[in-house]
Chains A and B, each alone.
Chain A
Amino acid sequence: MKTIIATITATFLMSLMGSQVVLASPKEDLKSFRAYFKSKFPDTPFDDFINGVYAIDPPSREQWEAIEEFPPYEINIDNGEGLFNKPFKNGKTYADCFDNGGENVRQNYPHFDEASSQVVTLEMAINECRIKNGEAPLGLGKGDIADISAYMAFTSRGSRFDVGIPNKDAEDWYEKGKHFFYAKRGQLNMACADCHVYYSGSYARAELLSPALGQPTHFPVYRSKWGGLGTLQRRYEGCNKQVRARPFKLQGEEYRALEYFHTYMSNGLEVNGPGARK
């Protein structure tokens, strides 16, 4: 009798373990992510994915290259440089808050901050710097914060993203972001992955869908549609609204987790922000 119970319990436990979803590790996710886009766009070199749709569509690339000769975000970079160098009321500057005086650091964001046990994005770090020095935080989607972020991205151009996942808590943030990316939402019941993985390279009405690989590298971005510069999370908000989902708070946990996953998937690619897009 005891043996039977033991066997049944053992089998039950084994089946539980067997039915548990084996979570692939982030490294494996990254490998299969890259392999997917490599096979979908075989003529596009890996490094070129940072250019989004312009890496996969020659006619619009020509137009974009013409714009890049004298890009609209130049004004924002200059403005951002001025804002970055202007001292706070207490005399300190942004350079005091960041490694290397804030130059060439874009590729280190977002990262998992072990001290506060959360993911920190560049915009969040900019505001934390302001609060620490007695200044009011900036609005998170556009305006001054985008200009400062643009300047910091510009000084980091060419450096490659290398987002790390140092511990289990960080991996939880990664998994949250990954889940967000693949989960369907909104009235249109679509996931980020629907447009930017499965249908990347296809058209949604008149727009070509960009591949998710290399997507965050060029942010903040001057979007012709916005007529101005905006941050990555401003775009997340817009994308969520586009599938008629209620957007989340900028720099809240959801979007930070998403940015963490999203940027991890672009590891090894160069910073090319700020960018210009349609």
Chain B
Amino acid sequence: MENSIKVRARESDGVVTFKALISHPMETGLRKNKKTGEPIPAHFIQEVDVDSNGKRQLTAYWGGSISKNPYLSFKYAGKKGDKLTVSWTDNQGEKDSIEASVK
């Protein structure tokens, strides 16, 4: 299974710029199937966690208003080689995670 998270993290002057692109439909639950008229069930990421060397750097609580295939970016104090763990869980109980290092 292809991982749904792509991560790029670069450090410069003690600041790591973290960028991630997550593949996820992020359905609000309000859209309707054009053919059947049935609402498409809500399916969106509820929590994203980013850890660096085991220490939590960011927890994001998301809802249906976040776009499809969300892009997340933030900065934190860190250094090259930091081991990043990025994971998400969604409202349908699905989850995914990936590990990466800071360049």
A, B: real partners:
yes
B contacts with A, residue count (CB < 8 A): 11
* Of A70, A78, A82, the contact of B71 (CB 8 Å cutoff): A70
In the bound complex, CA of A82 to CA of B6 (Å): 16
Q: Check A75 against B8 for contact (C-beta < 8 Å).
A: no
* Of B2, B8, B21, B68, the contact of A227 (CB 8 Å cutoff): B68
Known contacts A78-B2, A227-B67, A227-B68; A70/B8 CB under 8 A: yes
Q: Check A74 against B68 for contact (C-beta < 8 Å).
A: no
A72 contacts across to B, CB distance below 8 A: 21, 69, 71
* Of A74, A227, A228, the contact of B6 (CB 8 Å cutoff): A74
Which B41-70 residues have C-beta < 8 A from chain A? 67-69
Q: Check B21 against A70 for contact (C-beta < 8 Å).
A: yes
In the bound complex, CA of A163 to CA of B32 (Å): 44
- Interface residue SS majority, chain B: strand
Closest A residue by C-beta to B22: A75
B68 contacts across to A, CB distance below 8 A: 227-228
Which A212-252 residues have C-beta < 8 A from chain B? 227-228
Which B1-34 residues have C-beta < 8 A from chain A? 2, 6, 8, 19, 21, 23
Closest 3 CB pairs of A and B: A70-B19, A75-B23, A70-B21
Known pairs A78-B2, A227-B67 / 17 extra A-B pairs, C-beta < 8 Å? A69-B8, A69-B19, A70-B6, A70-B19, A70-B21, A70-B71, A70-B73, A72-B21, A72-B69, A74-B6, A75-B6, A75-B21, A75-B23, A75-B69, A82-B2, A227-B68, A228-B68
- A interface list, Cβ under 8 A from B: 69-70, 72, 74-75, 78, 82, 227-228
